[in-house]
Amino acid sequence: MTAFRILLVDNSPDFLRSAARFLNDDSQVLIVGQAESGHDALNQIAQLHPDLVLMDISMPHMNGLEATRLIKARTDAPRVVVLTNYDTVDYRAAATAAGADGFIAKSEFSTQIFPMIYELLDPVMTTLPTPGGCKVTHTAR
């Protein structure tokens, strides 16, 4: 099976580093790029063709919701999961309206990201690796 190609988008270099380090623990994940703005993400998507974009909402110049709208308007759009520190009903609704395929609060990143990746990119029954060596069996809805 080919690795899932992921683009990380967040204006925090610290979050980009820690998320990449965490995601690289799964051999099915390949971080193909990192962007610190919505504009940079749009340019990298055209060049890198990721399967999935993990998109922060709060960024200067072009927020993650606007970037998600533009990404999802493409005919060859990757999946987009919106990430935020602010898990509110309004943000969830805005992410859905922008076309996001998923939503994860950053406080839940370590427990929800791998199930979300596998649900979106490999929707058949899959054994999910989790940090610490445990396996979680996941069946798509």
Q: Is the pLDDT reported for residue 49 higher than 80?
A: yes
What is the distance, to the nearest Å, from the Cα of residue 105 to the centroid of all Cα atoms in its chain?
11
- CATH number, residue 130: 3.40.50.2300
* C-beta of residue 67 within 8 angstroms of C-beta of residue 9: yes
* C-beta of residue 86 within 8 angstroms of C-beta of residue 106: no
Which residues span the domain enclosing 13? Answer: 4-138
pLDDT digits over 56-101, tens only?
Answer: 999 988 999 999 999 999 999 999 999 999 999 999 999 999 999 9
Number of domains the chain is built from: 1
The pLDDT, as a whole number, for residue 123 is 65
Q: How confident is the model at residue 1 (pLDDT cuts 50, 70, 90)?
A: low
Q: Is the pLDDT reported for residue 129 higher than 90?
A: no
DSSP per residue over 87-108, as a string? --HHHHHHHHHHT-SEEEEGGG
Q: What is the mean pLDDT of residues 111-124?
A: 89
- The residues that bridge with 54 in the sheet, in sequence order, are 8, 81
* Cα–Cα distance measured from residue 69 to residue 94, given in angstroms and rounded to the nearest whole number: 10
SS3 112: helix
- Find all residues with CB under 8 Å of 122, minimum gap 6, and list them: 1, 4, 28
* Cα–Cα distance measured from residue 88 to residue 95, given in angstroms and rounded to the nearest whole number: 11
The pLDDT, as a whole number, for residue 122 is 84
The pLDDT, as a whole number, for residue 133 is 45
